[in-house]
Amino acid sequence: MFNDREARQIASSICNAAKQITDTLEKMIADLPQGAAPEMAMQCLAVELSDSQPLLVKAMMESEQARIRLPAARASSQESFGGAGQYATNERT
């Protein structure tokens, strides 16, 4: 096991990576041309990641926490954005 300092370092690294990924995803969606579906972009990204990051995709599909959170995330995105996902609110220029 890890000592407290190592555990905090691991948690910090994970949180920082999640923040960077979230920021990048939000930018990707914001950069889509007007009328492009965020869902389609995310689906294409998922396919790309399944090839380039198979361990991440496997971990997400096998994660008990991800499975528990998925229904709430789906409901939230459909409720807030009419099924367009959380990124649809970004203003497009």
Helices (H) and strands (E) in the chain, counts: 4, 0
pLDDT of residue 77: 60
pTM: 0.67
pLDDT digits over 8-43, tens only? 999 999 999 999 999 999 999 999 999 999 999 999
Alpha helices for 31-63 (secondary structure H)? 38-52, 54-62
Placement of tokens 């370092």 in the chain: 9
Q: Check: CB of residue 45 under 8 Å from CB of residue 28.
A: yes
Q: Which amino acid type is present at position 19?
A: K
Q: Which residue has the higher pLDDT, 88 or 45?
A: 45
| 30: Cβ contacts below 8 Å, ≥ 6 apart | 87, 90, 91, 92
Q: Please, what is the Cα angle at 74 between 71 and 75, to 5 degrees?
A: 85
Instruction: Look at residue 47 and tell me whether its pLDDT is greater than 90.
Output: yes
